[in-house]
Amino acid sequence: MEAIEQRIKEQGDLVRSLKSKNADKDQISAEVATLKALKDELAALNPAGASTSSPKAEKPKPKKDDDKKAKGGFTLKNAKGTKDYTPQEMAVREKIFSTIIGVFKKHGGITIDTPVFELKEILSGKYGEDSKLIYDLEDQGGEKCSLRYDLTVPFARFLAMNGKEYQNIKRYHIAKVYRRDQPAMTKGRMREFFQCDFDVAGTYDAMIPDSEILRVLTECLTALDLGDFTIKINHRKILDGIFEVCGVPEDKIRTISSAVDKLDKLPWLEVRKEMVEDKGLDPKAADLIGEYVQHKGGEELLEILYKDEKLGNNARAKEGLDDMTLLFKYLNVLNVSKHTSFDLSLARGLDYYTGLIYEAVLEGSAPPTLENGEKARATVKKGTDELDESTVGVGSVAAGGRYDNLVGMFSGTNKKGQPNLVIPCVGVSIGVERVFSILMQKQKKEQIKSNEVEVYVVGLGGVSVEERMKICTELWDAGIKAEFAYKLKPRTQNQWDACDRDMIPLAVIVGGEEIEKGVIKIKDMRTKDESQKGGIEYSRSDMIAELQKRLAQI
């Protein structure tokens, strides 16, 4: 508990320092959110009424209308940044997962799994400024652990431990990750969410796996039917070369890169202000960077950059330009170029990227536009650490890049100071929650079929439950998804209502007369006219064949 109290004191000092320096509002809001989370953690450890040496606790906020108090005294609500999913919502999510997995498998992907938490030292120092969003766990048994922030670093750790067996692997992994971020629930910005990753690990000729990764991403977004999308691409070596020729000191390259990455959310003047006032960059260097990073286009942009004398003489930039030239060649063959935009403002804030980087955005995924034409700046709801959702967009729905050195960070070094194991990697991560939020906006919940039942067995006139069970057993044995009422003598109307409620397309109808004649009736429940009347009669022996025929046409 003393450790947490000390962290609260240090975090409080940091917040006060930032405010006194008139630091960036987003940075202050993020640090305030961290402070509040630490206080909540301390409150959870303290018994009610126990004294503490921590800073004075905030007054409890009035309960919201949606906070339901249970008889046992619990407040029934979801933890901030998390949510429950209804059967209809899960039907949509399962379709998203199956669609993405289908594409991954088509390209030779095999899956692995890793623990939901890792040793803290594994995650530390891999995410740049975003490291403050990692959820740390209490020390248990002498190990300091943290919830995984993404699926990439755990994969690199897996390769470092199993590198002899998996020198080359196409891996996909679908699992939850955790970030102590400011949530915007309807925009898919959450603290607990799924990522769908596809990565190629191994030593191959330049840009071949990179180009297939972009093909995989294109197929996923097309199959999900999200509408028009653009994959913004850039290269870390080109970006680093630009920073070098503009006069950015080597020790500031990553932090300046993180500032540039905000250009999709903030106007250039605010990004420039952050670089100069908050991060101490020379104003002349910032102005030179501005001339470069506002360029975007296609292959033609490569010609412009090649002709730039300063970049042409920079080894990093030249290597990146050569990679991009080769990449465009392959993307043209793979029919992906039409979906891409070469965007020099794309930086990707994570520290581990070494080469090609990319992210996918949709029309309408950007922040709202103000009357003056500028993008709205993300703001926090008054009295909370949650984002005002009217000021933020969905953001990118997928992102990734090449990370050739990450595995080596975990493998130790030899006498020459070189990593014991080097496995180059490139991958992409699709954010399910953001995809889900977009798809849910496109359809009404009442139009979503939450189960996959194809046939409902309707009993008329007191037909026994055993008879309905017998028919369902035949259907199940034939691989047909079927249900029947869990009542000995169900009301007929209730059975029809079940078909309508669950959008079950076909009904098998059986009554005393049908049993005597050895027949059943089949009715298409999607058709509400009188042409079928009480259903079309078929021999019991023809039931399976007729149902399979009809289901094949649905």
Mark the binding-site residues for L-histidine, compressed into ranges.
150-152, 179, 195, 199, 348, 352-353
Whole-number Å distance between alpha carbons of 511 and 520: 8
Whole-number Å distance between alpha carbons of 295 and 273: 19
Q: Which residues fall in the annotated binding site?
A: 150-152, 179, 195, 199, 348, 352-353
Residues 502/450, Cβ–Cβ less than 8 Å: yes
Whole-number Å distance between alpha carbons of 464 and 459: 8
Measured CA to CA in angstroms, residue 320 lies from 41, 67, 201, 252, 306 at distances of 45, 53, 20, 20, 11
Q: Dihedrals φ, ψ of 195, to 5°?
A: -120, 145
Residues 401/439, Cβ–Cβ less than 8 Å: no
Whole-number Å distance between alpha carbons of 523 and 538: 11
Measured CA to CA in angstroms, residue 63 lies from 58, 68, 75, 76, 77 at distances of 14, 9, 9, 11, 11
Residues 289/243, Cβ–Cβ less than 8 Å: yes
Whole-number Å distance between alpha carbons of 345 and 235: 10
Residues 123/371, Cβ–Cβ less than 8 Å: no
Whole-number Å distance between alpha carbons of 122 and 118: 7
Whole-number Å distance between alpha carbons of 520 and 201: 57
Q: Cβ atoms within 10 A of the Cβ of 529, count?
A: 6
Which residues have a Cβ under 8 Å from the Cβ of 333 and sit 6 or more positions away?
A: none
Q: Is 186 helix (H, G, I), strand (E, B) or coil?
A: helix
Whole-number Å distance between alpha carbons of 457 and 198: 42
Pairing verdict, β 482-484 and 506-510: unpaired
**118-120-122-127 Cα dihedral, nearest 10 degrees:** 110
